Amino acid sequence: MFKGSNVALVTPFKNNKLDEETYIKLIHFHIENGTNGLVPAGTTGESPTLSHDEHEKVIELCVKESNGKLPVFAGTGSNSTEEAISLTKHAEKIGADGALIVTPYYNKPTQEGLYQHYKAINDKCGIPIIIYNIPGRSVIDMSVETMARLYELKNIIGVKDATGDLSRVNKTLEKLGKEFIQLTGNDDNALEFNKRGGTGAISVTANIAPKLCSNFQKFSIINDDKSKSETEILDKILQPLHNAMFIESNPSPVKYAAKLMNLCDDDVRLPLVRVTEKSKDIIKKALKSSNLI
């Protein structure tokens, strides 16, 4: 249900308010251009600076506009377990296909704390949950052993792995098996990630290059010489984009790229700021090299 190229959707703003009209257009842009799944209200969607009402609205709009055409895994994580439960129950109520739940940032729970956090959410909802493990932002790293314990629960189905450690794919596959979904959160390592047993990505780059990303994912899991060749060609095209999208704090670079493509404005909320002129030049160059502008 949830594999291939899944976009970590940006949240467009106008005058620091949610730009609903543009957001709806973005959703249909992805439906029409090969994206395999939608992830609203994640880090790329600036969830830390969305109000609770905005957070719920972003998910509602995504579910309504996708209308079953693409699966929606809503970002419902928080460093407050009660808030994560509330957001996840809301996502379930309005028809989201699942939830992407980040490890609790700032609190620095132990592995047992991580287990109890996800178990509490699992026990209060009935939709699939993908763990989002991103130690670079949350400081903590969920171990493969803790993930294995969580996989025994009814709703835990996979992980978005943003550790950057490719050996984790092998360790997770060995411990949890092929049915446990492994999606990379690092666009730049998607080729090797899938070679080792991954089944896709939750992608920042897909915001601006949905067809390239979905074609890359499609060919990367077909094990024949022609598909391998296509995958490597697409990876070479995409790498400059992947690098440019993280030249400054996400999602400032991808929002600027989206502005150049007339998809949305590059407004971000403080403490994020727009990218520098130097970064703009690099982003433009990457877009041109990929024939996106």
At residue 97, the pLDDT reads 98
Q: Does residue 290 sit within a domain?
A: no
Among 253, 247, 275, CA closest to 208: 253
**Among 132, 151, 218, 280, the one annotated catalytic:** 132
Q: How many residues does the chain have?
A: 293
Predicted confidence (pLDDT) per residue in 22-46, tens digit: 999 999 999 999 999 999 999 999 9
Q: Does residue 24 sit within a domain?
A: yes
Q: Does residue 73 sit within a domain?
A: yes
pTM to 2 decimal places: 0.97
Q: Please state, in angstroms and rounded to a whole number, the distance separating the CA atoms of residues 280 and 250.
A: 14
- Mean of pLDDT values over 177-187: 98
Predicted confidence (pLDDT) per residue in 234-273, tens digit: 999 999 999 999 999 999 999 999 999 999 999 999 999 9
At residue 223, the pLDDT reads 80
Q: Does residue 37 sit within a domain?
A: yes
Percent pLDDT > 90 in the chain is: 97
Q: Please state, in angstroms and rounded to a whole number, the distance separating the CA atoms of residues 186 and 189.
A: 6
Q: Does residue 83 sit within a domain?
A: yes
Judged against a pLDDT cut of 80, whether residue 1 lies above it is answered with no
153: CATH = 3.20.20.70
At residue 12, the pLDDT reads 98
Q: Any catalytic annotation for residue 118?
A: no
Judged against a pLDDT cut of 90, whether residue 150 lies above it is answered with yes
Q: Please state, in angstroms and rounded to a whole number, the distance separating the CA atoms of residues 188 and 184.
A: 9
> What 3-state class would DSSP assign to 199?
coil
Whole-angstrom Cα Rg for the chain: 18
| Beta carbons within 10 angstroms of residue 240's beta carbon | 17
Sequence-distant (≥ 6) Cβ neighbours of residue 214 within 8 angstroms = 4, 5, 33, 34, 35, 36, 206
Sequence-distant (≥ 6) Cβ neighbours of residue 131 within 8 angstroms = 101, 103, 118, 142, 147, 150, 156, 158, 159, 160
Q: Does residue 259 sit within a domain?
A: no
Structural domain tally of the chain?
1
Q: Does residue 254 sit within a domain?
A: no
Task: Determine phi and psi for 200, rounding to 5 degrees.
Answer: 155, -165
Q: Please state, in angstroms and rounded to a whole number, the distance separating the CA atoms of residues 127 and 74.
A: 11
Domain that holds residue 137: 4-223
Q: Does residue 140 sit within a domain?
A: yes
**Among 160, 218, 255, 280, the one annotated catalytic:** 160
Among 87, 86, 2, 95, CA closest to 42: 87
Q: How confident is the model at residue 285 (pLDDT cuts 50, 70, 90)?
A: very high
Burial of 85 (0-12, 13-18, 19+ CB in 10 A): buried
E runs forming strands in 152-223: 156-161, 181-184, 200-203
Q: Any catalytic annotation for residue 160?
A: yes
